[in-house]
């Protein structure tokens, strides 16, 4: 206890003198380190706060106790393409198939009874043995919470073997002054069985909005494979606020995006906080966010700030960062410095002023927040931090393929959290970091490249079914080669 008090005295001293010390990076590093030590000690002594559940220097220990039948239900609930991408989603969000069941959870030894737990995720993150999870602390015990936080999100990193994309990506968004969730790591176990390392991501909800915008009485929407196209205003899922205020504003933005180039920017400036958007967009481009808003019209929130009556974009589902190429389409011929799949990004990029503002934001981020030496050091720190928490049965040097021969029941989509694949993936992320500035600066040396390919409408299953009928008819009519070429191109884009 004396040790904690001593550290707290030092921290308080630094805080009191922060104006004099703020230019000294050594003091700021010491402050961050000492603060994390205080937070860690508080957690060990049985105190959880909204800060201590997002540590940067340790891995949370999360133990879940649940009826085996309920756990089996969670593991095998799933979405299917036909339902998730049905044509009716154009007019309203599709309900998720996941249900809460009762469980007991402990976080760093501090227990919570009668919590609710369910699976989460769209399609890419689904896993029958290591599902992503949502935990609702006040599911049955209405007093269940941690310093006002009632819902916890644990992502399985299905698409990120390195485990670092969300932690470092959200950190860079935050460093640039953009609203983004906090992220930490957690070692999850269910009924005594280890599930390995998860990313613990802050929920985008009232406390987040209050912290980042100073108000939580605006309107919050989530976008999942949707965009601001005509007749698609109903596809955004309202999370908070008054829909009768937010939905008409979305319709206004949709109409604005149909305006001619000479008037679109001024109108959009009344609807979107464009200064924030250009930084958000440039950060996605720099990080290679192939499954974010500008890369895939996916994994984003928009918040209508009640104080400004403007939309702000918030990143989500950031397990597809620090990668040169997309996993879902062939983008090898696309510009590497910018992504314009999102309709807002595309329309702004067709303006000379839009390209100039994007370039300014990109150069600002590279100059202020992209330090290769520090980023590489952080990947190495995280590698050492996470190694002891990888799935224990996968720490040996037995290959994943060899394991499958002895455990052929293992699903092909199961996540291989082995030491070899983890370290190899970290190595690739480091390569991306080392090369990114050089390849981007080379591309934009004469200004941003022109890119005018129109974004496609969000995918609907009914469209594919109609197309398959066309292919069948075309094949029966003899144009097999043409049909095959179109189908292959379509499947590549999926």
Closest CA to 93 of 83, 103, 102: 83
Q: What is the DSSP string of 40-109?
A: HHHHHTT---TTTTS-SSSEEEEEEE--HHHHHHHHH----HHHHT-GGGGTSPPPP----EEEEEEETT
Q: Are 190 and 70 in contact (CB under 8 A)?
A: no
pLDDT band at 196 (very low <50, low <70, confident <90, very high): very high
The answer to whether 132 touches 125, Cβ cutoff 8 Å, is yes
Q: Can you tell me the distance from the alpha carbon of 361 to that of 350, in angstroms, rounded to the nearest whole number?
A: 16
Residue 125 pLDDT grade (very low, low, confident, very high; cuts 50, 70, 90): low
Q: Are strands 300-305 and 310-315 parallel, antiparallel or unpaired?
A: antiparallel
219-223: strand order across its sheet: 237-240, 219-223, 300-305, 310-315
Q: What is the pLDDT of residues 231-243, one digit of tens each?
A: 999 999 999 999 9
- Residue 65, pLDDT > 90, answer yes
How far apart are the two ends of the chain, measured CA to CA in Å? 56
Q: How far apart are CA 222 and CA 236, in angstroms?
A: 6
Q: How many residues does the chain have?
A: 494
Burial class (CB in 10 A: 0-12, 13-18, 19+), 15: exposed
CA distance 144 to 137: 5
Percent of the chain with pLDDT over 90: 69
CA separation, residue 227 to residues 182, 244, 297, 416 (Å): 25, 19, 6, 33
Whether 334 shows a pLDDT value over 90: the answer reads yes
Locus of tokens 């991501």: 201
**Domain residues of the chain, as ranges?**
2-44, 59-206, 217-368, 372-439, 462-493
Residues 372-425: pLDDT tens digits? Answer: 999 999 999 999 999 999 985 444 433 333 344 444 444 444 445 788 899 999
pLDDT in tens, 152-182: 999 999 889 999 999 999 999 999 999 999 9
Burial of residue 179 (CB within 10 Å: 0-12, 13-18, 19+) is buried
Quote the CA–CA distance of 154 and 197 in Å, as a whole number: 10
What pLDDT does residue 419 have? Answer: 87
* Residue 73: Cβ-neighbour burial (10 angstroms; 0-12, 13-18, 19+): middle
């Amino acid at each position: 206890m004396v040790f904690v008090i001593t550290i707290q005295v030092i921290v308080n001293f630094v805080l009191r003198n922060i104006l004099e010390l703020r230019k000294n990076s050594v003091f700021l590093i010491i402050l961050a380190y000492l603060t994390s030590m205080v937070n860690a000690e508080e957690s060990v002594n049985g105190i959880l706060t909204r800060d201590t559940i997002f540590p940067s220097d340790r891995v949370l220990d999360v133990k879940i106790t649940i009826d085996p039948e309920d756990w089996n239900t969670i593991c095998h609930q799933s979405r299917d393409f036909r339902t998730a991408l049905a044509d009716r989603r154009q007019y309203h969000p599709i309900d998720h198939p996941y249900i809460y069941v009762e469980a007991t959870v402990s976080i760093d030894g501090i227990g919570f009874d009668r919590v609710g737990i369910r699976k989460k995720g769209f399609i890419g993150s689904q896993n029958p043995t290591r599902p992503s999870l949502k935990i609702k602390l006040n599911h049955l015990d209405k007093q269940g919470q941690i310093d006002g936080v009632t819902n916890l999100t644990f992502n399985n990193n299905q698409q990120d073997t390195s485990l670092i994309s969300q932690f470092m990506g959200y950190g860079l968004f935050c460093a640039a002054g953009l609203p983004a969730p906090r992220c930490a790591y957690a070692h999850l176990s269910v009924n005594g069985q280890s599930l390995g390392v998860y990313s613990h991501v802050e929920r985008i909800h009232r406390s987040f909005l209050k912290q980042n915008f100073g108000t939580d009485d605006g309107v919050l929407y989530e976008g999942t494979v949707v965009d601001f196209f005509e007749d698609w205003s109903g596809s955004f899922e309202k999370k908070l606020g008054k829909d009768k205020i937010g939905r008409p504003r979305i319709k206004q933005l949709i109409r604005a995006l149909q305006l001619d180039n000479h008037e679109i920017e001024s109108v959009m400036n009344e609807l979107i906080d464009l200064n924030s958007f250009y930084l958000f967009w440039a950060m996605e481009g720099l990080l290679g966010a192939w499954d974010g808003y500008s890369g895939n019209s996916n994994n984003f929130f928009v918040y209508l700030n009640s104080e400004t009556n403007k939309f702000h974009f918030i990143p989500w589902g950031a397990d597809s960062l620090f990668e040169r190429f997309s996993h879902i389409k062939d983008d090898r011929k696309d510009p590497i410095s910018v992504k314009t799949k999102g309709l807002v990004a595309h329309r702004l990029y067709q303006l000379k002023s839009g390209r100039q503002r994007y370039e300014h934001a990109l150069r600002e981020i590279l100059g202020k927040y992209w330090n290769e030496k520090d980023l590489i050091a952080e990947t190495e720190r995280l590698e050492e931090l996470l190694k002891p928490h990888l799935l224990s049965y996968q720490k040996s040097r037995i290959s994943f393929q060899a394991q499958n021969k002895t455990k052929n029941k293992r699903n092909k989509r199961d996540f291989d959290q082995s030491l070899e694949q983890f370290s190899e993936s970290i190595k690739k992320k480091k390569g991306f970091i080392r090369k990114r500035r050089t390849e981007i600066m080379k591309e934009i040396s004469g200004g941003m490249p022109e890119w005018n390919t129109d974004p496609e409408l969000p995918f609907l299953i009914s469209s594919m079914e109609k197309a398959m009928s066309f292919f069948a008819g075309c094949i029966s009519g003899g144009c097999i080669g043409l049909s095959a070429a179109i189908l292959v191109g379509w499947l590549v884009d999926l």
